[in-house]
Amino acid sequence: MNMAFLVPIPTLRAALGVLAIAVMPGSLQAAESASDWVRSEAADVRLVSAIAGTEGRYSVPLGLEFRLSEGWKVYWRSAGDVGYPPQVDWQGSSNLAGADTSFPVPQRFSAFGIEQYGYHDNVVYPITARLTEAGAALSVTASVNALVCSDICVPLDATLKLDLPATAPKPTAFTQLLDRWSARVPSDLPGVGLNVVEARASGDPASPTLLLRLASTEPFNQPDVYPEGPEGLTYGKPEISIGSDRRTAELRVPVGVRGDVQLSGAVLRLTVVDGDRFVEQAVTVDAASTAFGESVNAPAINASTWVAMLGAALLGGLILNLMPCVLPVLSLKLLSAVSYGGADRAVVRRGFLASAAGILASFLALAGGAVALKAAGVSVGWGMQFQQPVFLAAMAALVVLFAANLWGLLEVPLPRLIADLGARLPAGGSSSENPGGSLTGHFLTGAFATLLATPCSAPFLGTAVGFALAGGPLEIVAVFAVMGLGLALPYLAVAAVPELARAMPRPGPWMLTLKRVLAVVLAATAVWLLTVLAAQTGTVPALAVAGAFIALILALALVRNRRLSLAASAFAVVAALVLVGASDRPSASGTAHAEVGASVAWQRFDRPAINHLVADGHVVLVDVTADWCLTCKVNKAAVLGRGPVAALLGDGSVVAMRADWTSPDPAIADYLASFGRYGIPFNAIYGPAAPEGIALPELLTDDTVLAAVHQASAGAVTARLD
């Protein structure tokens, strides 16, 4: 028999009564210290109190608690690119002088280039309720309006009521809950071990970068920062570099600017977070005239970053061999290869090693020039030598002399010093006794090829150059040397396996025809350089330089070989026609310019105008280009001027904006630097869903551009193509 049935009914009732009395005080206290839940599918919200009475109190610690459904979030005091924090209207409350809301450390939510800051699952916003009459009963009515978001955003409205009597302020069931969340409210208190050492502004003031240097008493884990500043500034996700000792860190935060506000000189409130440590500090941004990486006290770059950047430099240099920028020097490479047909292995190896040495030496020379210019306070960029008219004229002269040499009009003598150093080497060009030519000639060919092959960027190259030029002399020299090694790898491969060159046909009369054909290619290169010169200095100076070249070639042709005067005359006619045509062609930065296969109205680059266009709901494509950038021209012919991309640009679905970097322009250089780029081609897509811009790869395809447009417009633009 079950013994439970033997308990008398009166005794059972008495026991239940005692149990009810035992648990009632706690239950009633919890009920009296919290409002009812207001429930919705996205979130539940209520008001809680850490104390049960107001006796002797001037203020009461309250908390606004959200219990969020899976996948939903609510926002921090600075919501980020979208959203807003909970708003509370206290009208209808009694004995309430005011209420101050605090915000615990948020989490970062990144998606499609949009940054949001807030909380998921559960959060309590600590609130300090200030009493009008100390110690008197408090009656609170809180009208809450909050935005909760998942794939969609839903406004949540709730009216919460809470009454606290004028009794002893005993702890409640929510005291520890409020204590935990209050402890996560950041402040500028000592002992945390986090400190903002430096804050600087860099790049174009219309689209700057906030550069922060942090120091920590403990090794950094995953540092992050949430900047808040003047109205009109928005902040993207920082790029983080942790020092080798993990106690220093550098953060590069992209900044969006609306209106006339400036980052330089602004007072910001920074919330710095690293795991369970956080601090809030106010800083004043100092303008930086040089790159942040040049700071003497800048944190050391960790080994993994070095490996990644040097790897990118090596790949970028190697890929540069395949870029359209090297087309002008293919003739030199081809002539160098065929001149070794049947030569001895040692001769082949020495010749290709000499060419590789010329490439490496020229890259080191470029690195030295970049270091010197940066030390002098001059903005530097990849391929910027093509922005200098003197350099263009000198390179055009060298190309013309090379072409004249291949035409057989003259032998180009080496400088006396080089000739003396190479006195023991066979002189002159390739012959049966001296296949491949002199080592000094191969060295100079490698150096010359490098100078002509560096006006444009390549995949991986932009990242490596950005890392180098944002750093100091060590970064510049190391990255440029490895880029040179990448460009020289094909030469080094032939030096390692000379049979690759020895398999070429032996030199013979057929090479005379090849030389003349390749001379035409070099002559075309000279004409191209003159068109770039015309774009910078005007047609008259460029025609004057071209006239000097034409006179030289005609004179040499008449003296050395009258039959070649026809080729020289053809060069003269072509050069004149192209230069005259170039003078009539609209500049790349003009307000309107017809592209291949489509009519696109290109607007002149205007960084502030991008912000206004995006704010109005437009999608903007920025094309940074130059007349000397052959890869830029390939992108225009293959993608920007034809097919679906040209259709979007042509009908105005996407605003086309062009920045012409043919001549030096500090605004464009700073704009590139804001993306960590120092060379072109460069293209970026802006839109309502990507106000900070989406950087595109160096070589464009229809798919990559359309995908970025889709992302920036949240699909609204490219949907029109379906």
| pLDDT on residue 578 | 58
| pLDDT on residue 22 | 38
Cα separation, 412 vs 402, in Å, equals: 8
Same fold, 32-62+84-182 and 194-294: yes
Cα separation, 533 vs 377, in Å, equals: 26
CB 450 within 8 A of CB 433: no
Cβ contacts of 425-430, under 8 Å, gap ≥ 24: 430/339, 430/507, 430/511
Residue 203: closest CA among 679, 665, 669, 670: 670
Cα–Cα distances in angstroms (integers) from residue 701 to residues 594, 630, 634, 645, 683, in the given order: 20, 16, 11, 9, 12
CA torsion angle 485 489 491 492 (round to 10): 90
Cα separation, 188 vs 278, in Å, equals: 9
214: part of which helix (H) or strand (E)?
A: strand 209-216
Whether this model's pTM surpasses 0.85: no
| pLDDT on residue 52 | 93
Find where tokens 């890392």 sit: 467
| pLDDT on residue 211 | 93
> What is residue 85's DSSP assignment?
-
Helix (H, G, I), strand (E, B) or coil at 690: strand
CATH class of 32-62+84-182: mainly beta
| pLDDT on residue 390 | 80
CATH architecture of 194-294: Sandwich (2.60)
Which residue(s) pair with 330 in the sheet? none
Any idea where the domains of the chain sit in the sequence?
32-62+84-182, 194-294, 303-584, 593-721
Task: Kindly give the parts of the chain with pLDDT less than 70.
Answer: 1-31, 189-191, 287-305, 323-343, 374-385, 406-438, 452-463, 466, 470-471, 501-514, 557, 559-598, 715-722
CATH architecture of 593-721: 3-Layer(aba) Sandwich (3.40)
Which tokens go with 122? 């559960």
| pLDDT on residue 97 | 94
